[in-house]
């Protein structure tokens, strides 16, 4: 029997630079010098608070503390000092760190620390705003009232590769409002038709394990409303930036640019469910109406329909019954299948290899219960499609065939569902049938003009057909429909690819790097970005990009990249040649 590795309960601090790719792209030397100076400051404050820096990873630093209070005090001191130094810098040149702190069990080995305790700290860093600090519930509990700080409870967060949700808090620093982004965003204009967002409903059941059920109801209402053509509906994923937050009508209006929002709560007890909802006007804060719905779990879709009809009537009294009927989709025969699909959704959209596997397992359970549930079949098809597109599959032919088989089966069961059509369009893209893909995706957006994902996939379809101007327009439409979507990084990648077709490699690099700022873990995009670096004469950046690819995909070759991608032959050869020139094995 092997001896257990030594473990210790420690406070772990993880810090990383926000917007690093853009900063280095604009001025590599200045950024490197500034980041080095700031890392030295972090090390000095760590030492003065009885901590120890374990290692650096480029622009990131990992430190350990025996005392939680010392870790949090050091983090506050670090951010206060860095904020002071940033005051003299232009807004687009500020070097802002995000900091995550966790209290957890770690493995000590070879002078470093490992384990979930460290992983959670790194994930918390990603939840912090630039210039801010995010801590776990364990840290918040340990601190108690020992420090004179304010904390913002941001609720339970699902983070990559961590099984259980992490209850998280942000420390209120006082300057976060101006520090949230080094890239100013324009105010969103109100659409010229009735516009609405369905905010996350509060889970009133007292059981955090039931959060997915409340989220599923919001998803159903949002999807149905979005198919009423005369409405402008914000995507569910952007609405969820307000999960577990107190909201005001003006905050919703400014952040999402809508006339109305729907909020509510769900209480599930045994086989009974109660849903409370209210519709708010964002220009005045006036309550348009409020209602309470009670029923059995078996009535859940009927309760959703009642809510949808009342919202539609309030927003547009002359709405036709056909418009509401069109919003309904084929429902599962068994609520157990619905349950598994709702649990799978966060993993489907994470675009992460480990999460992809978890989504596959949950969706297969749903199909075992209800083999003719179109939503489950579509999502399963898209999960296989991700494996093909992102070099996660060891057998591309088999994966592509399974993607297309499942997508066709879903479409045969629900031929007018925009989501199903979008998945089928994406599947045809993966097998290089771009004409069929374009027809299906155009049909999807005609049925649901509020589907950010459908517009995004149509943008990619235009990229594959060498129509970059239309592609950019479609990606921009997707970004407006879901301005805070965790999938938006893929829209920026799409815009970047459109500029590659236009031959504007500077704009292409800027958009690829913007997407990486939004999701630094989307390493696979270096397959597209490295050739742009080479074309722009940035050989060292290209070589670094290849090293990042090989760290994530040790067996990757230029041939495997070319086989996975679905551009025209000329572009594929250009990508292949430049990847090889940058150092990727043939």
Average pLDDT, the chain: 81
Q: Each residue of 389-400: b (16+ CB within 10 Å) or e?
A: bbbbbeebeebb
Q: Note whether 414 and 420 are within 8 A (CB).
A: yes
User: Alpha-carbon distance 429 to 431, whole Å?
Assistant: 5
Asked whether residue 217 carries a pLDDT value surpassing 50, the answer given is: yes
Who contacts 41 (Cβ-Cβ below 8 Å, separation ≥6)? 78, 81, 82
Stronger pLDDT, 163 or 303, i.e. the higher one = 303
- pLDDT of residue 164 exceeding 60, the answer is yes
8 Å CB contact between 453 and 441:
no
Confidence band, pLDDT 50/70/90 cuts, at residue 187: low
CB 559 within 8 A of CB 576: yes
pLDDT tens, position by position, 412-453:
887 777 888 888 888 888 878 888 888 889 988 888 887 888
Q: Can you give the residue ranges of every domain in the chain?
A: 7-179, 195-327, 333-429
- The tens digit of pLDDT for each residue in 474-516 reads 999 998 888 877 778 889 999 999 999 999 989 999 999 888 8
User: What are the tens digits of pLDDT across the range 42-88?
Assistant: 999 999 999 999 888 778 899 999 999 999 999 999 998 888 888 77
The residues, any chain, with a CB within 8 Å of residue 519's CB and separated by 6 or more, are: 351, 486, 489
On the question of a common fold for 7-179 and 195-327, the answer reads no
Higher pLDDT, 297 or 577: 577
* Confidence label for 4 from pLDDT (cuts 50, 70 and 90): low
Is the pLDDT assigned to residue 532 strictly greater than 90? yes
Q: Is 142 exposed, middle or buried (0-12, 13-18, 19+ CB in 10 A)?
A: middle
Tally of helices (H runs) and strands (E runs) in the chain: 25, 14
537 Cβ neighbours under 8 A, 6+ residues apart: none
Distance CA 20, CA 71 (A): 24
Q: How confident is the model at residue 335 (pLDDT cuts 50, 70, 90)?
A: low
CA proximity to 99, closest of 85, 115, 83, 88: 83
Residue 345 pLDDT class (50, 70, 90 cuts): confident
Quote the CA–CA distance of 359 and 365 in Å, as a whole number: 10
CATH of domain 195-327: 3.40.50.10610
The single-letter DSSP state of residue 1 is -
Name which of 68, 66, 97 is nearest 83 in CA terms. 97
Q: What is the pLDDT at residue 419? A: 80
The two structure tokens encoding residue 390: 């992102």
Helices (H), 452-556: 452-464, 468-481, 488-502, 505-518, 526-535, 539-552
Close Cβ partners of 182 (under 8 Å, ≥ 6 residues apart): 18, 19, 22, 23, 91, 92, 93, 94, 96, 130
Q: Is the pLDDT of residue 124 over 60?
A: yes
Query: What does the pLDDT look like over 351-386, one tens digit per residue?
Result: 778 888 988 999 999 899 989 888 889 889 889 988
Q: What fold is seen in the domain 7-179? A: Alpha-Beta Plaits (3.30.70)
Contact 498, 504 (CB under 8 A): no
Contact 377, 406 (CB under 8 A): yes
**Pick from 362, 361, 404: which is nearest to 381 by CA?**
404
E strands, 87-149, are 97-109, 112-114, 133-136
pLDDT of residue 162: 63
| Angstrom distances, CA of residue 365 to CA of 246, 350, 355, 360, 434 | 36, 19, 16, 9, 32
Query: What topology is assigned to 333-429 in CATH?
Result: 1.25.40
């Amino acid at each position: 029997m092997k001896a257990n590795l030594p473990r210790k309960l420690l406070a772990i601090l993880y810090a990383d630079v926000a917007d690093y790719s853009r900063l280095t792209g604009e001025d590599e030397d200045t950024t490197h010098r500034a980041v080095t100076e700031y890392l030295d400051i972090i090390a000095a404050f760590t030492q003065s608070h009885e901590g120890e820096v374990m290692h650096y990873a480029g622009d990131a630093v990992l430190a350990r503390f025996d005392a939680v209070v010392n870790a949090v005090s050091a983090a506050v001191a670090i951010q206060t000092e860095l904020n002071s130094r940033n005051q003299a810098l232009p807004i687009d040149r500020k070097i802002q760190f995000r900091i995550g702190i966790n209290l957890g069990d770690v493995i000590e080995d070879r002078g470093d620390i490992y384990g979930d305790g460290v992983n959670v700290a790194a994930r918390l860093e990603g939840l912090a705003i630039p210039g801010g600090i995010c801590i776990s519930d364990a840290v918040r509990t340990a601190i108690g009232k020992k420090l004179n700080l304010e904390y913002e409870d941001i609720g339970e967060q699902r983070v990559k590769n961590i099984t259980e949700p992490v209850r998280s808090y942000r420390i209120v620093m006082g300057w976060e409002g101006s520090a949230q982004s080094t890239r100013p965003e324009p105010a969103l204009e109100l659409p010229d038709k009735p516009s609405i967002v369905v905010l996350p409903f509060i889970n009133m059941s007292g059981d955090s394990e039931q959060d997915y059920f409340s989220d599923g109801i919001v998803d159903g209402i949002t999807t149905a409303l979005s198919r009423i053509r005369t409405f402008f509906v914000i995507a569910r994923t952007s609405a969820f930036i307000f999960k577990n937050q107190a909201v005001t009508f003006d905050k919703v209006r400014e952040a999402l640019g809508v006339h109305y929002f729907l909020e509510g709560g769900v209480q599930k007890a045994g086989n009974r469910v109660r849903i409370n909802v209210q519709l708010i006007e964002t220009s005045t804060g006036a309550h348009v109406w409020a209602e309470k719905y009670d029923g059995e779990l078996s009535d859940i879709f009927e309760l959703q329909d009642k809510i949808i009809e009342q919202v539609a009537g309030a927003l547009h009294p002359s709405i036709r019954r056909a418009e509401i009927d069109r919003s309904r989709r084929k429902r599962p025969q068994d609520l157990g299948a619905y349950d598994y699909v709702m649990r799978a959704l966060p993993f489907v959209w994470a675009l992460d290899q480990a999460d992809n596997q978890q989504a596959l397992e949950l969706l297969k359970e749903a199909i075992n219960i209800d083999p003719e549930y179109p939503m489950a079949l579509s999502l399963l098809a898209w999960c296989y499609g991700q494996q093909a597109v992102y070099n996660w599959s060891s057998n591309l032919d088999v994966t592509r065939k399974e993607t297309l088989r499942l997508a066709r089966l879903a479409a045969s069961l629900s031929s007018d569902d925009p989501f199903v059509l979008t998945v089928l369009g994406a599947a045809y893209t993966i097998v290089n049938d771009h004409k069929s893909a374009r027809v299906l995706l155009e049909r999807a957006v005609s049925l649901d003009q509020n589907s950010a994902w459908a517009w995004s996939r149509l943008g990619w379809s235009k990229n594959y057909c060498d129509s970059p101007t239309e592609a950019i327009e479609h990606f921009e439409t997707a970004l407006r429909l879901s301005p805070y979507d965790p999938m938006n990084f893929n829209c920026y990648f799409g815009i970047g690819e459109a500029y590659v077709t236009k031959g504007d490699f500077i704009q292409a690099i800027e958009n690829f790097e913007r997407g990486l700022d939004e999701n630094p873990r989307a390493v696979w995009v270096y397959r597209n970005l490295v050739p742009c670096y080479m074309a722009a004469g940035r050989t060292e950046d290209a070589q670094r990009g290849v090293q990042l690819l090989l760290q994530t995909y040790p067996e990757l070759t230029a041939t495997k990249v070319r086989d996975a991608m679905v551009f025209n032959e000329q572009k594929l050869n250009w990508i292949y040649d430049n990847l090889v020139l940058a150092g990727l094995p043939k």
